[in-house]
Structure 1
Amino acid sequence: MTSRRKLKRLLARRQLLIAPGVFDGLSARLVEEAGFEAIYLSGGAVARSMGVPDIGLVTMSEVIERAVQVVAAVKIPVIADADTGYGNALNLVRAVREFERAGVAAIHIEDQVTPKRCGHLEGKEVISLAEMEKKLEAALQSRSDPDFIIIGRTDSRAVHGLDDAIQRGKSFARLGVDAVFVEAPQSEAEMETIARSIPEVPLMVNMFKGGKTPLLPASRLEEMGFRIAIFPSESQRAAIYAMREALAMLKRDGSTEAMDDRLATFKERDRIVGLEEWEKLERKYLKSAIEKERRREAW
């Protein structure tokens, strides 16, 4: 079964799918190792891993490169952040083709003005509903695999209010998107209203500390009717904290020996990235070839 069909089956369940955020192949492997059923390739996390803020500075090609790395590293479905499609409807057509070719199972596309900003920052602008409908129409008609999932996202809550955001979400559902993502509701009551107002398709919700949306338990999100919960920041926030702690100790003590029991071992690090599998291939294809050559020379 393809990862896209896996994701479709997961969304068809009457339960919440949790997709932790990743930003490279290593973080993706850790999410899979932890037992999660899907991965979220966060545009914001990718940007920060490059040393820049999430304000539309990262190009499509740079995100596609990460998407290829992440998809190659895991067997579970990858949901990718495609921002605005990196421009107008024509740019979006190309973005759909590139993400599809990269092997991701789903993308979400938002209605912000290009260049976009993190959905929980101030100063966002959105395009008209008419333009966004055309963009989504172009995206839906551009996919070559009908199992490739397209999620329509609106950032209108912060610009035109909740009612407008819900109307946009309902419009996206009528167009035929596979799921709807109303970004940055500002209270539990607003989240309930969104879930109640758009029952036609699976709904995505964004959970992270410090954003505009209240953090709720997975059980509560599922009870409301949400079907995908992305947690884009946890793995990167943890990595930042751990690296700072290790580097501070190294700077202060000249060694990290005092915290060695909290660091991954040499063997553990190589196990995570599949060294054993590569060593088997090495023995099968390289060392056997060398042995054959030696026998020929001996003859």
Structure 2
Amino acid sequence: RASYHRGLEHVCDSDEFLRRLEYALKARSDESFMIIARIDAGNAVNGSWKEAARRARAVRALGVEAVIPMARTKESLEAFRHEFPDNDMVLLTGTYFNGLHPDEIRKYGFQIIMYPLCTIIASVAGVIELWRGVQKTGIAKMDPDRAREAREEIEAAIGLPEFWEIEKETVEAAHKDYTGCAPAGYEGYNQKRT
């Protein structure tokens, strides 16, 4: 439901929840593929951490290896672990911007820490900031050193340095000694050779 994203959470009844996981387990064709049960009962309307713990025990009995109880704060981590002190399942949790340090989360017995939405929110925030600046000033401002660093990381990730070496020996053999220049936008109007 869309209301989930404004803090109004609902969960299906326990039988339906378990039935879905039973089908997931039956559908698994590779035993190394981990089935993780997401348990929203601690934050749900009329929910409780006691119910979240009950569901964790029920999915463990089904053969599910890991749970994510959607404990998002120190208080909710403590509440879940108070109700579910067991240490025989993999426990996952998410943390957000300015959240708890991983060492603190691990103290509660959580082995896997996720950062949901962080990448997309940070990306979109950067795009919004850039284009608001263009809208106000007509200039796409970005720190040149950071822009160069990001571009170099992208180029390395997609393998461009290796392709440049191949091209030096093939289609760009006539320009083998060309060292290049900084891409437009990183040095301002003065495109220095590199």
Going from structure 1 to structure 2, the CA distance change for 1:148 and 1:166 (only over 3 Å counts) comes to same
Q: CA offsets, 1:247-269, max 9 Å, x none?
A: 23333333335633332465443
* 8 A Cα contact 2:93 2:113, kept in partner: yes
Percentage of matched positions with identical amino acids: 25
The correspondence for 2:95, drawn from 207, 210, 218, is 207
Cα RMSD (Å) of the superposition? 3.0
Structure 1 residue 139 corresponds to structure 2 residue 24: yes
Question: 1:204 deviation in Å?
Answer: 0.8
2:15 matched residue in structure 1? 130
Question: 1:205 deviation in Å?
Answer: 0.9
Question: 1:168 deviation in Å?
Answer: 0.7
Q: CA offsets, 1:217-250, max 9 Å, x none?
A: 2111111101111111222222222222222333
* 8 A Cα contact 2:49 2:79, kept in partner: no
The correspondence for 1:165, drawn from 37, 52, 55, is 52
- Compare CA radii of gyration and give the structure with the larger one: 2
Distance 1:281 1:170 in 2: 57
Structure 1 residue 269 corresponds to structure 2 residue 154: yes
Q: CA offsets, 1:139-180, max 9 Å, x none?
A: 112111100011001111223222111111111112111211
Q: Which amino acid aligns with 1:125?
A: H
**Secondary structure at the counterpart of residue 204 of structure 1:** strand
* 8 A Cα contact 1:153 1:169, kept in partner: no
Query: Given the two structures, how large is their TM-score scaled by the length of structure 2?
Result: 0.70
Question: 1:125 deviation in Å?
Answer: 2.2
**Secondary structure at the counterpart of residue 216 of structure 1:** coil
Q: Which runs of 5+ in 2 are unaligned?
A: 172-194
The correspondence for 1:225, drawn from 104, 109, 115, is 109
Structure 1 residue 236 corresponds to structure 2 residue 120: yes
**Secondary structure at the counterpart of residue 30 of structure 2:** coil
Q: Which amino acid aligns with 1:179?
A: A
Going from structure 1 to structure 2, the CA distance change for 1:129 and 1:262 (only over 3 Å counts) comes to same
> Number of paired residues?
166
* 8 A Cα contact 2:95 2:115, kept in partner: yes
* 8 A Cα contact 2:71 2:80, kept in partner: no
Question: 1:133 deviation in Å?
Answer: 1.2
2:74 matched residue in structure 1? 188
Q: Which runs of 5+ in 1 are unaligned?
A: 1-53, 56-116, 288-299
Q: Which amino acid aligns with 1:243?
A: V
Q: CA offsets, 1:18-54, max 9 Å, x none?
A: xxxxxxxxxxxxxxxxxxxxxxxxxxxxxxxxxxxx8
Query: Given the two structures, how large is their TM-score scaled by the length of structure 1?
Result: 0.48
Q: Which amino acid aligns with 2:103?
A: S
Kindly indicate which of the two structures has a greater share of residues assigned to helix.
1
Q: Which amino acid aligns with 1:147?
A: S
Instruction: Give the alignment of 1:45-60 within 5 angstroms.
Output: 55=2
